[in-house]
Structure 1
Amino acid sequence: MATTDQDDQLVTPWEVTAASQKGVDYDKLIKKFGSVKIEDSLIERIARVTGKPAHHLLRRGIIFSHRDVGMILDAYEKGKPFFLYTGRGPSSEAMHLGHLIPFVFTRYLQDVFDVPLVIQMTDDEKFLWKDMSVEEARRLASENAKDIIAFGFDKEKTFIFSDMDYIGSTPDFYKTILRVEKCVTVNQVKGIFGFNDSDCIGKISFPAIQAAPSFSCSFPQIFGGKKDIACLIPCAIDQDPYFRMTRDAAPRLGYPKPALLHSTFLPALQGAMTKMSASEASTSIYLTDSADDIRDKINKYAYSGGQSTVEEHRRVGGNVDVDVSYQYLTFFMEDDEKVEKIKKDYTSGAMLTGDLKKELISVVQKVVAEHQQRRQQVTDQMVQEFMTPRKLKYSY
């Protein structure tokens, strides 16, 4: 089970909680999971290799941990191919702000490295874990695909697939799943994911399905049956247990280990003790929310690091380590100088909590409105095109 010392925080693919108002201790998580903290030297190398500025999510430590990214960069510099893989579990019709993070960063990676991307819609997982029908899980996958397409992915380089559809249409994908299943024991999955004897057998077999897209042989229409093309997976850190299992299985299958880039969590509006959740409306800002909804939610629910009175705040200043509005700005405001000035003004007491929330409201309203405009342009035909197995365009 993916927990940290003395149960002071819990990080699994299904639940994230922390005892401190500062949220998850990511240094502890790195130590527990055995990943590697991203240092400035790696960020500088990514910028140097791509010839493009590093993304602000990298610069600010929101993309904070990795596995074997140096090997991906080594291969890229030598002209060797790799591909990107990320995913989405369609548990609700409306995605929220927290879901933006891995997709925004994945879009950046696709742009700067000019590589193909596969996006797995785990509608089978949501059917197994949630109280929904097969048909509803598949419908939500299609709806969520529209939001993903609206992030601006290149159709010629991006394949989005539903597990329910793709497993049945491509024998190679199922063969890869079987190979993974055969080399992972029930005891291993119980130890990694905390499954127990009351869990349905579908849950025990699902990790192999999430592992399979890490390997190029799962996509013969894209890679022509090659099994040695490296994979880079940008994802939130709670998904790492799946890929620790995958990386352990890879050498025994004769496949390269996937590399990973981990992001932190966007906190719930009420504070960083848990992440934003699609199933809890008061914790989340949805991509379908109106400008008024966004204003009201931030004003009402966003946890403040400010003091109890204006006089005290002017004297002591605010605490950005726990203030949700400031933390959100680090995710969504690209201007480094402006973010730093806000931090200085808030911690000194020159900026009040109301002013900080007003700044965030303006930023988030713009992000959501622009996304809604792009999504309105996504048709069912476009979804079908993105989700049709086909050859993708890439230079190697």
Structure 2
Amino acid sequence: MEKVEDQNPQQEEDQVVNPWEVSAKDGGKIDYDKLIDKFGCQRLDQSFVDRVQRLTSRPPHVFLRRGVFFAHRDFNDILDAYERGQKFYLYTGRGPSSEALHLGHLIPFMFTKYLQDAFKVPLVIQLTDDEKCMWKNLSVEESQRLARENAKDIIACGFDISKTFIFSDFDYVGGAFYKNMVKVAKCVTYNKVVGIFGFTGEDHIGKVSFPPVQAVPSFPSSFPHLFSGKDDLRCLIPCAIDQVQCFV
């Protein structure tokens, strides 16, 4: 990813894309090619689609074939390791701000189910009820209630219950998970997090401190009950491109 201070200010005015806001100047369209360059991603071209089909011995998902999932970071490393017999795990999530998931919310989960079935790997699903409490006008109790309702829709996608762990931040954060949060937080300056996510002086400190919460599920050591002794296990994160900044 290019350094924040090297980015073109005019480009920043043309479109804003981060985990909490997606907008283009004058109501225009999002330029995904610019985002791919900005976030240091690569296109998911036909060679990747063919390779996934070869490694899994099953047809690639329609979201791959039609370019709904169109870019990646280091997916080739995951596939290289898998070809050598090394497993990985999946991580995705949901910020519960409504009682039910609409089709747009479901797309990442539908694709994640395909990946779990195709590669036969574990999955962790984070419900960021704490995030929605901080960004929306929601109480802690209401955020937790919405998380439980959203979990029902996610479970209905049909994930392998023997390989899937769904957790609420309010219920789970602590222990090894929190230790990793602190390690990540110490690596990011205030100026850097403002440059990456666009926080202002009007944002409360809860927002500024949140990104490590979303980042650390990508570390297997955050889940010692699942991956004890497997701290080198790779993680594949199916998500929308507006979430990429939490993981670069």
Who is 2:82 aligned against?
Answer: 76
State the partner residue of 1:232.
236
- RMSD between superposed Cα atoms in Å: 1.8
Q: Given the alignment of the two structures, is residue 35 of structure 1 paired with residue 26 of structure 2, yes or no?
A: no
Q: Which residues of structure 2 form unaligned runs of 5+?
A: none
Q: Which structure has the larger Rg? A: 1
Identify which of 200, 203, 212 aligns with 2:204.
Answer: 200
Equivalent in the alignment of 1:66: 72
Shift of 1:239: 0.4
Q: Secondary structure at the match of 2:239?
A: strand
| Secondary structure in structure 1 of the residue aligned to 2:200 | coil
Q: Secondary structure at the match of 2:230?
A: coil
Q: Tell me, in whole angstroms, the C-alpha distance in 1 between the residues paired with 2:62 and 2:27.
A: 24
- 1:20 is displaced (CA, Å) by 8.1
Paired positions, count: 242
> CA offset at residue 139 of structure 1?
0.8
Q: More deviation in 21-30 or 216-225?
A: 21-30
**C-alpha deviations, 1:255-299, integer Å up to 9, x for none?**
xxxxxxxxxxxxxxxxxxxxxxxxxxxxxxxxxxxxxxxxxxxxx
Q: What is aligned with 1:243?
A: 247
- AA paired with 1:232? L
In structure 2, the residue matched to 1:112 is: 118
The answer to whether structure 1 residue 146 and structure 2 residue 160 are counterparts is no
Equivalent in the alignment of 2:142: 136
Deviation digits for residues 14-62 of structure 1, max 9, x if unmatched? 1222358883221121122221111111111111111111111111111
**Identity of paired residues, percent?**
62
Return the alpha-carbon distance in structure 1 between the equivalents of residues 139 and 78 of structure 2. Answer: 39
Which runs of no fewer than 5 residues in structure 1 stay unpaired?
Answer: 245-396
Shift of 1:9: 2.6
1:126 maps onto 2:132 in alignment: yes
Structure 1 runs of 4+ off > 4 angstroms?
Answer: 1-4, 19-22
Secondary structure at the residue paired with 2:72? Answer: strand
**SS in structure 1 of the partner of residue 180 of structure 2:** helix
Partner Cα distance (1:42, 1:232) in 2 = 15
CA, structure 1 residues 22+42, in 2 after alignment: closer, same or farther (shift >3 Å)? farther
Q: Does 1:190 align with 2:194?
A: yes
Give me the whole-angstrom Cα distance separating, in 1, the residues matched to 2:146 and 2:69: 28
Q: TM-score, normalised by structure 1?
A: 0.59
What is the rounded CA distance, in whole Å, between the counterparts of 1:19 and 1:192 in structure 2? 19
Among 153, 162, 170, which residue is 2:168 paired with? 162
Alpha carbons of 1:108 and 1:20: their partners in 2 closer, same or farther (altered >3 Å)?
Answer: farther
1:99–1:7 CA distance, 2 compared to 1 (3 A):
same
What's the counterpart of residue 294 of structure 1? Answer: none
